[in-house]
Amino acid sequence: MKRWVLVLASLLLWLQTAALSQAAPVSSPAPKVLILYSAETEAQMTEVRILDSILGHFTKDITVTDETQFQQAKAGAYTHVFYMGLRKDELSEETIAYLDSFPGVLFFIGYNTEQLPTRYSFVAVGGDVNATSASYPAKGWNWEIMNEGGKASTYSLFSTTIDPAATVILQADSPGEAGKPLLVQKEQSYYMASVHLDGANGQLLGEALFPVFGKVPAKGHSAYLRLEDVRPGSDPKVLRDIADYLKEQNIPYLVSLIPVNADTGQHLSDVPRLVEVLRYMQEHGGSIVQHGYTHQYHADEKTGEGYEFWDYKHGSPIFQEESKNTPLKQKESFADTAAYNQYVQRGQAFEEAYTKERVEKGIRELVASGIYPLAFEAPHYAMSQRGYQVVSQYFSTYAGQVQISNEDAESSYAPSFATSPSFLHGMQLLPETIGFYDTELTAKGIDPIPRMIAEAKRQIQLSDGYVGAFYHPNLGLEKLLVLVKELKKLPGLNWVDLKKQQNSVKASGIEVQSGKDGIQSKEDNLFLKEKIKYGLFEVQSIFSKLIITVAGAAVLLFAASLGYISWKKRGSAHG
């Protein structure tokens, strides 16, 4: 009998072990990515940052290195290596040996494949041709290349011939010739025949990377609507009407909030009715995005229109006090490189201190009013790479688009999905992907909503495609009703409720967290004293209203008394 009990027990133990092994399969290691690049201009570096942004959807572990600085001895245990050849360059022997023998996925983009003749024997890269579209044959997609104005455009493509054993994943059409290779693969080696990764190229590359990284797309598509440029001076009634409508539609939303109106000198403490509405929004679906501090830098820039973290007049990061108002000096203005480097370092130190002061002031004034920011957005999406590094010390989440050039504020970009590129230093970007209700278009007789919806329809074709839009609430509720109605027709949208996602905001004496249980805030005693002092406007407001009410009642009572006395006198005269 004991023998049968032992046999049965052993069998049960074996079945349990087998079940556990099936329930908890061994997971593959998290992707660890190296991006090597050959580039010489800031314009070329924008393409590197686009690649960084695309890859940031698949991993947070990304190292970006100039090929000339690469040292194999210091290289980590990477799972994927991407080389971006933005110029013809002679790679070091160390780099060539490393890439040739790399056992994982090697992704080569652009120039210099001929320096790995064994690994890339399956491609022969020729001269440039102009391509007019990009396609993903396996999905039946063929997307025309469009410029920012929505007109047909072209991009530069390397005319490439491939070995029959290679697989074509993406194709491109050029005038007179269709189906040219754009992305090809042979075993663990990939080649991309264009260094232009914005627009359709980048969107299709992002889609093609899902099987490369073994990533399974989420169900549905994240979507958000951001109410832009709310500030002291915004109409509380309009905001309340919008808040009630979105609450009725069961749509959570973002509120992009500027803490100070430099035009009027108003802080949130000066507009208690607006604060009341913002708190209402926060409690009924709205999540606050800190949109700078004053949304302007130069004294003649208006809040909501100016640039705050970029000197737009001089096309540079903010390296000096606004009052100086001088262009940055160029390298040739200095006696030697050392003097120029010292000048740049002083400018960078100023930019860092300036950015810290404005970000922290904004957080403190918002929290002091009982309004809790969960993400950051730079005015006009304009900020240098150093600026993002500073903001990452305060915020875990960034909303909108990012500036990918240290020389050009117009170079804003967002991939089609949420991402954590290395240049955001741990922050997650929630991308704005379909634009906004543009009154410049309406002035030309063009309705912007069909354009927004057309782009949204493209986004929801993509795996994990994001539908991010913004709307200026000062335009009123009417056009927002139309936009929301059209967005709700799109299948599979999951409206982002930022308060129920993990976000972290930290400043001196303040820590704000959000998650499945909503917003939690920790404030130290020093800040609580400041908050009480700052929050006196509410007490003063209530007290003022009470005084007005009592005074009004006293006046009425006095008037009634005079009337009564007069009546009594008249009564006595007639009596």
Mean pLDDT of the chain: 89
DSSP H helix total and E strand total for the chain: 13, 26
Find the helix or strand (DSSP H, E) in which 100 lies. helix 93-101
Rounded Cα distance, 137 and 140, in Å: 5
Determine what percent of the chain is predicted with pLDDT higher than 90: 75
CA distances from 14 to 2, 6, 8, 20, 292 (A): 18, 12, 10, 10, 60
Q: Which of 71-80, 105-114, 209-218 has the lowest mean pLDDT?
A: 71-80
Asked whether the predicted pLDDT for residue 170 surpasses 50, the reply is yes
CA distances from 163 to 118, 136, 181, 211 (A): 13, 19, 11, 22
Confidence band, pLDDT 50/70/90 cuts, at residue 310: very high
Task: Identify which has the larger pLDDT, 537 or 127.
Answer: 127
Average pLDDT over residues 74-88: 93
Nearest one of 86, 96, 106 to 37, comparing CA atoms:
86
Asked whether the predicted pLDDT for residue 141 surpasses 50, the reply is yes
Question: What is the reported pLDDT for 540?
Answer: 46
Q: Which of 116-120, 299-303, 495-499, 531-535 has the lowest mean pLDDT?
A: 531-535
Question: What is the reported pLDDT for 573?
Answer: 42
Confidence band, pLDDT 50/70/90 cuts, at residue 29: confident
pTM of the predicted protein model: 0.88
Confidence band, pLDDT 50/70/90 cuts, at residue 553: low
Question: What is the reported pLDDT for 563?
Answer: 52
Asked whether the predicted pLDDT for residue 108 surpasses 60, the reply is yes
Question: What is the reported pLDDT for 150?
Answer: 67
Residue corresponding to tokens 């809040």: 303
Q: What burial letters (b/e) apply to 130-147, b meaning 16+ CB within 10 Å? A: ebbbbbbeeeebebebee
Average pLDDT over residues 83-107: 96
Asked whether the predicted pLDDT for residue 340 surpasses 50, the reply is yes
Q: Which of 14-18, 231-235, 382-386 has the lowest mean pLDDT?
A: 14-18
Task: Identify which has the larger pLDDT, 108 or 12.
Answer: 108
Asked whether the predicted pLDDT for residue 39 surpasses 90, the reply is yes
Bridge partners for 316 per DSSP: 311
Average pLDDT over residues 174-184: 87
Average pLDDT over residues 543-554: 49
Q: Provide the terminal-to-terminal Cα distance of the chain, rounded to the nearest Å.
A: 123
Q: Which of 204-208, 475-479, 554-558, 566-570 has the lowest mean pLDDT?
A: 566-570
Q: What's at 217, amino acid-wise?
A: P
Question: What is the reported pLDDT for 323?
Answer: 83
Average pLDDT over residues 195-202: 94
Asked whether the predicted pLDDT for residue 268 surpasses 70, the reply is yes
Per-residue pLDDT reduced to its tens digit, 399-421:
999 999 999 999 999 999 999 99
Asked whether the predicted pLDDT for residue 336 surpasses 50, the reply is yes
Question: What is the reported pLDDT for 75?
Answer: 81
Question: What is the reported pLDDT for 130?
Answer: 87
- Cite the DSSP H helix spans in 228-306: 236-248, 272-283
Confidence band, pLDDT 50/70/90 cuts, at residue 173: confident
Task: Identify which has the larger pLDDT, 457 or 550.
Answer: 457
Rounded Cα distance, 308 and 383, in Å: 9
Per-residue pLDDT reduced to its tens digit, 386-403:
999 999 999 999 999 999
Residue 152 backbone dihedrals phi, psi, to 5 degrees:
-60, 140
Asked whether the predicted pLDDT for residue 552 surpasses 60, the reply is no
Confidence band, pLDDT 50/70/90 cuts, at residue 27: low
Asked whether the predicted pLDDT for residue 5 surpasses 80, the reply is no
Average pLDDT over residues 376-388: 97
Q: What's at 444, amino acid-wise?
A: K
Task: Identify which has the larger pLDDT, 558 or 207.
Answer: 207
Confidence band, pLDDT 50/70/90 cuts, at residue 155: confident
Per-residue pLDDT reduced to its tens digit, 475-527:
999 999 999 999 999 999 999 999 999 999 999 999 999 999 999 999 876 66
Query: Of 173-182, 306-315, 536-545, which has the strongest mean pLDDT?
Result: 306-315
Determine what percent of the chain is predicted with pLDDT higher than 70: 85
Task: Identify which has the larger pLDDT, 551 or 387.
Answer: 387
